[in-house]
């Protein structure tokens, strides 16, 4: 048993949640210890080993204690003792004012440093635990598998501070409030929101004890997050519909049969996109599951050029960068449990190397290709790294300047020709043809639908082809825009955004040079 320390005991949010996130996403350099239970209880069997991956825990009968004992242990206080990391060591802290804590048979009046092989006992004749520090290959948290780390994170970091986590989540939503897909942030408004966020962060630790007392959440086992591609595929296929042949004329579209016949030759290279949002860490993908048993995701369109590039809009690949605060809040609230919510926040703010990734399958009547959003080439134009305070940042995008594009070289030969030069020099008032899988129409029929619009001016306006007379809908985003050049159809752009019902913008292929 090592010497006595007089440093004040403090059970901090950073020592629990902060350390837990570090152990979950950056485990290679973090040490941990094991508590070996020597007495059976309702919650632990004799001989059971409990890995501790956070920096501070409490032992006692209270439901918020990470090491919990049942009501049959009358001499164990509700908050009996704590173990707190101090530098590269851990110390045992006496919390109870009525029941003693013993280390190797000696009473601990305040705090003592722990050493490998020490024995902890809560009260006279109370339960005993062995303190073990792993060595060798098992010395760091990285030796514990990801699924097991997620379970430990849920039990040791999230459960004691569930309400505090909710407060911090609200801080994040407040901090990103006002962010819209196609709107610029107002500097003064943003500064005010950050000031509010900082104030709430300062208050959260002060209110921690009250939050813990009022938190009556019950334990739930964490669902295993399957990372195999087969599971991701099955989740997507479960909600997908067969892709049918034959371009269908939109109802009320007018005399368009000639156009659809001419464009039908390209149908096999126009794809319906289906995406699932995941958190990626060191090559592993964890799909974000919702409380309803589904997943976060979206559908869109894309197409394959004759040069082998699969083309779509950036917001169809990295949609979270374009989401509004309201959308982020709804996605967060829909997630299955606290662990998935923590993963979502870690991926959104890119904490400890975690980041969000979309797993994507694209289908046409005759082809299927699989991608990850990280494989696409995009531009950083229009992106901003927003500082949320306390080391948290997140990336936002608005598609400004015609930056709403993404492509990937597939090595496959498509049938759709492109005219890059023409895409930047279209005349005013000319008709453009659109094909894709809009929500509520093509998505139900499983068929590629025809739409159209016309240019509202000559050439580009801030890198975008502005259009009017738009008669296509959401879901067409990322799909091809064709120009009829004397009977020859050529792809000139990507369906990007809409303004009101009939206006919008097309990203020209010129921007992909």
Evaluate whether residue 414 is within a structural domain: no
Evaluate whether residue 250 is within a structural domain: no
Do 472 and 396 lie in a common domain? no
3-state helix, strand, coil in the chain (%, to 5): 30, 30, 40
Do 136 and 53 lie in a common domain? yes
69 has a pLDDT exceeding 60 = yes
Q: Report the CATH number that the domain containing residue 479 is assigned in CATH.
A: 2.40.10.10
Evaluate whether residue 124 is within a structural domain: yes
Residue 45 DSSP SS3: coil
Q: Is 440 left (phi over 0), alpha (psi -120 to 50) or beta?
A: left
Q: Could you list the beta-strand ranges (E) of 247-313.
A: 270-281, 284-287, 297-304, 309-312
Query: Rounded mean pLDDT of the chain?
Result: 79
Do 329 and 238 lie in a common domain? yes
Instruction: Name which residue leads in pLDDT, 447 or 185.
Output: 447
Distance CA 99, CA 80 (A): 7
What is the DSSP secondary-structure string of 314-354?
Answer: HHHHSGGGT--HHHHHHHHHHBSSHHHHHHHHHHHHTGGG-
Q: Which of 112, 132, 157 is the last residue of a domain?
A: 157
What is the token pair recorded at 337? 């449990």
**pTM for this prediction:** 0.59
489 Cβ contact list (under 8 Å, min separation 6):
262, 263, 266, 417, 433, 482, 483
Looking at residues 25-48, what average pLDDT do you find?
89
Q: How high is the pLDDT of residue 167?
A: 47
> By the 8 A CB rule, do 210 and 412 touch?
no
Do 262 and 405 lie in a common domain? yes
> By the 8 A CB rule, do 491 and 420 touch?
no
Nearest Cα residue to 345 out of 73, 30, 17: 17
Q: Which of 383, 409, 435 is the last residue of a domain?
A: 409
Evaluate whether residue 7 is within a structural domain: no
Instruction: Name which residue leads in pLDDT, 350 or 393.
Output: 350
Distance CA 166, CA 400 (A): 33
448 Cβ contact list (under 8 Å, min separation 6):
243, 247, 248, 267, 270, 365, 435, 436, 437, 442
Evaluate whether residue 224 is within a structural domain: no
Sorting pLDDT into bands at 50, 70 and 90, what band is 444? very low
Do 495 and 392 lie in a common domain? no
For 277-310, what is each residue's pLDDT tens digit?
999 877 788 899 899 888 899 999 999 999 999 9
For 219-271, what is each residue's pLDDT tens digit?
333 333 334 445 555 555 544 555 666 665 553 444 454 566 788 889 999 99
Evaluate whether residue 504 is within a structural domain: yes
The boundaries of the domain holding residue 172 are: 160-214
Do 352 and 429 lie in a common domain? no
Looking at residues 151-169, what average pLDDT do you find?
64
Instruction: Name which residue leads in pLDDT, 394 or 489.
Output: 489
Q: Which of 409, 436, 467 is the last residue of a domain?
A: 409
Evaluate whether residue 484 is within a structural domain: yes
What is the token pair recorded at 189? 């408004």
Distance CA 321, CA 380 (A): 11
Do 18 and 137 lie in a common domain? yes
Do 40 and 24 lie in a common domain? yes
Distance CA 268, CA 391 (A): 47
Do 261 and 378 lie in a common domain? yes
The terminus-to-terminus CA distance of the chain in angstroms comes to: 68
Do 262 and 371 lie in a common domain? yes
Strands 309-312 and 406-409: antiparallel
- Domain total for the chain? 4
Do 365 and 474 lie in a common domain? no
- Long-range CB pairs of 67-72 (<8 Å, 24+ gap) are 67/35, 67/129, 68/43, 69/41, 69/42, 69/43, 69/122, 69/127, 70/41, 70/42, 70/43, 72/41, 72/42
Q: Report the CATH number that the domain containing residue 99 is assigned in CATH.
A: 2.60.200.20
Nearest Cα residue to 65 out of 35, 40, 87: 35
CA angle 185/187/190 to nearest 5° reads 75
Looking at residues 134-145, what average pLDDT do you find?
89
Q: How high is the pLDDT of residue 193?
A: 47
Do 198 and 287 lie in a common domain? no
Q: Could you list the beta-strand ranges (E) of 32-116.
A: 33-37, 49-52, 56-60, 67-68, 81-86, 89-94, 101-103, 106-107, 111-113
Distance CA 496, CA 491 (A): 14
For 356-390, what is each residue's pLDDT tens digit?
999 999 999 889 999 999 999 999 998 988 776 66
What is the token pair recorded at 494? 């990507």
Evaluate whether residue 447 is within a structural domain: yes
Percent of the chain clearing pLDDT 70 (strictly above): 74
> By the 8 A CB rule, do 296 and 304 touch?
no
Nearest Cα residue to 92 out of 115, 62, 117: 115
């Amino acid at each position: 048993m090592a010497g006595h320390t007089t440093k004040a005991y403090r059970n901090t949010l950073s020592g629990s949640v902060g350390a837990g996130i570090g152990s979950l996403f950056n485990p290679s350099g973090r040490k941990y210890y094991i508590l070996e239970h020597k007495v059976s209880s309702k919650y632990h069997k004799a001989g059971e080993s409990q890995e501790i991956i956070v920096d501070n825990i409490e032992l006692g009968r209270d439901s918020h204690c990470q090491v919990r004992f049942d009501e049959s242990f009358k001499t164990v206080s509700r908050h009996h003792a704590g173990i707190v990391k101090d530098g590269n060591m851990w110390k045992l802290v006496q919390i109870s004012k009525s029941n003693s804590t013993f280390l190797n048979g000696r009473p601990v009046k305040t705090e003592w440093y722990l050493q490998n092989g020490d024995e902890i006992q809560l009260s006279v004749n109370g339960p005993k635990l062995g303190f073990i520090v792993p060595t060798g290959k098992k010395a760091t948290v990285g030796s514990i598998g990801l699924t097991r780390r997620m379970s430990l994170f849920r039990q040791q970091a999230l459960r004691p501070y569930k309400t505090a986590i909710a407060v911090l989540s609200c801080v994040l939503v407040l901090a990103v409030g006002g962010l819209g897909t196609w709107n610029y942030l107002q500097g003064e408004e943003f500064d005010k929101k950050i000031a509010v966020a900082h104030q709430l962060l300062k208050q959260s630790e002060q209110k921690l004890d009250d939050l813990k007392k009022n938190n009556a959440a019950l334990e739930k086992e964490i669902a295993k997050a399957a990372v195999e591609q087969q599971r991701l595929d099955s989740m997507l296929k479960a909600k997908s519909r067969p892709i049918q042949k034959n371009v269908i004329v939109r109802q009320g579209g007018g005399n368009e049969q000639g156009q659809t016949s001419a464009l039908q030759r390209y149908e096999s290279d126009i794809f319906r996109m289906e995406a699932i949002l995941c958190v990626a860490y060191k090559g592993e993908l964890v799909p974000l599951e919702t409380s309803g048993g589904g997943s976060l995701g979206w559908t869109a369109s894309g197409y394959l050029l004759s040069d082998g590039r699969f083309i779509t809009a950036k917001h169809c690949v990295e949609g979270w960068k374009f989401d509004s605060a309201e959308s982020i809040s709804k996605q967060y609230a829909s997630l299955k449990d606290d662990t998935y919510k923590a993963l979502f926040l870690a991926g959104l703010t890119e904490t400890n190397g975690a980041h969000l990734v979309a797993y994507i399958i694209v289908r046409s009547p005759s082809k299927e290709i699989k991608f990850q959003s990280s494989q696409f080439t995009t531009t950083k134009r229009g992106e901003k790294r927003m500082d949320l305070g306390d080391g948290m940042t997140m990336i936002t995008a608005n598609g400004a300047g015609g930056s709403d594009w993404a492509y990937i070289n597939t090595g496959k030969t498509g049938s759709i020709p492109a005219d890059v030069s023409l895409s930047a020099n279209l005349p005013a008032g000319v008709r453009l043809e659109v094909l894709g899988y809009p929500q509520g129409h093509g998505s139900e029929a499983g068929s590629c639908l025809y739409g159209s619009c016309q240019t509202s001016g000559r050439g580009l306006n801030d890198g975008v082809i502005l259009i009017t007379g738009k008669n296509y809908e959401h879901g067409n985003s990322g799909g091809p825009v064709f120009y009829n050049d004397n009977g020859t159809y050529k792809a000139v752009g990507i369906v990007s955004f809409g303004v009101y019902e009939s206006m919008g913008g097309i990203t020209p292929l010129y921007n992909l040079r």
